[in-house]
Amino acid sequence: MIGGATKLFGLVGHPVAHARTPQAMNALFERNGLDAVMVPFDVPGTDLARCLASLSRVGNFQGMVVTVPHKMSAIALCRDLTPRARLAGAVNVMRRVGEDAFAGDMLDGEGFVVGLAAAGHSVAGRRICIVGAGGAASAIAVALAERQPAKLTLINRSRERLLALHERLRLRFPDLEVVIGEHVGGHDLVVNATSLGLREDDPLPFDPEQIGPGVLVAEVIMTPEITPILHAVARRGAAIHAGRAMLDGQLDAIFRYFSEGGRIAVRRGREA
């Protein structure tokens, strides 16, 4: 039960009706007997800084999960960053480290590869195409590049973001073939790391006709579970990997990030 000592966490995004992280985190808090709760905050893209400034005035506010469209802009609001967050150029978790200060990390990439491994899919030696160059896409690109794929192809509508991500990966992984592409064909694994598919009227993120049998197509969108692009490629004989796996793969890491150092109290009569 929420009380005067309850620590408050948020999920910040726009929209947030599709979000599944608050439900999952609240279940973890309850299971571990921690006096904490996570609630969704629907914050338009230009309002994140003002929202965080207001939340920093709330004494029991401890941190937040960051989702679309804030993952890249949130990095400027963090005092401390992990190396992987700096490389990805984005954060998806922030925690309070002072009265007006927050630290940030990016766990999407690790969550994505953990989810792939749990489903029996390997990365090493595979030709991989990532569609998107935003926060989640950048984190996924870094995590995949660390696991020795044969080739990494990047596709994105925004040329500026695409070139910036390509340059960061090229400098960090000089022995990996990282290329800018236009088509998803010719790859073993294709990742839709865009938000296209979240809304009913969204166009498909790429042409499903370029996907054939034996290709694995992975998604980062969690709702709907089977997005239009997954439906389309499955009809062509491709294997599919739903976006919920990325969240499941990082839930424990998010929980540890928020709870380490004893920053959340155990409820009376319970043991963590």
pLDDT in tens, 206-217: 999 999 999 999
Burial of residue 120, with CB atoms counted within 10 A of its CB: 0-12 exposed, 13-18 middle, 19 or more buried: exposed
3-state secondary structure (DSSP) of residue 216:
strand
**CATH number for 75:** 3.40.50.10860
Is the residue at 267 inside a domain? Answer: no
The confidence band for 261, taking pLDDT boundaries of 50, 70 and 90, is: low
Residue 64: domain span: 7-106+247-262
Statement to judge: residues 228 and 143 lie in one domain: yes
Total domains, the chain: 2
Is the residue at 269 inside a domain? Answer: no
Is the residue at 271 inside a domain? Answer: no
Is the residue at 2 inside a domain? Answer: no
DSSP state of 223: S
**Is 71 among the catalytic positions?**
yes
190 vs 7, 8, 220, CA distance in Å? 39, 37, 11
Is the residue at 272 inside a domain? Answer: no
Nearest to 264 by CA among 27, 34, 55: 34
Statement to judge: residues 54 and 67 lie in one domain: yes
Q: What's the pLDDT score for residue 87? A: 95
**CATH number for 223:** 3.40.50.720
For the stretch 37-93, pLDDT in tens is: 999 999 998 999 999 999 999 999 999 999 999 999 999 999 999 999 999 999 999
Q: Cα torsion for 102, 99, 25, 141, to the nearest 10°?
A: 0
Has residue 95 got a pLDDT over 50?
A: yes
Round to whole Å and give the CA distance between 224 and 200. 10
- pLDDT (mean) for 159-167: 96
Has residue 263 got a pLDDT over 80?
A: no
Statement to judge: residues 127 and 209 lie in one domain: yes
Statement to judge: residues 100 and 157 lie in one domain: no
Statement to judge: residues 102 and 141 lie in one domain: no
Q: What's the pLDDT score for residue 265? A: 67
Is the residue at 222 inside a domain? Answer: yes
- pLDDT averaged over the chain? 94
- Run of H or E including 8: strand 7-13
Statement to judge: residues 51 and 149 lie in one domain: no
Q: How far is CA 134 from the centre of its chain?
A: 10
Statement to judge: residues 149 and 223 lie in one domain: yes
Statement to judge: residues 118 and 175 lie in one domain: yes
Statement to judge: residues 79 and 146 lie in one domain: no
- pLDDT (mean) for 232-246: 97
Is the residue at 268 inside a domain? Answer: no
Catalytic residue among 7, 70, 71, 96: 71
Has residue 271 got a pLDDT over 50?
A: no
Least confident of 5-19, 103-117, 124-138, 252-266: 252-266
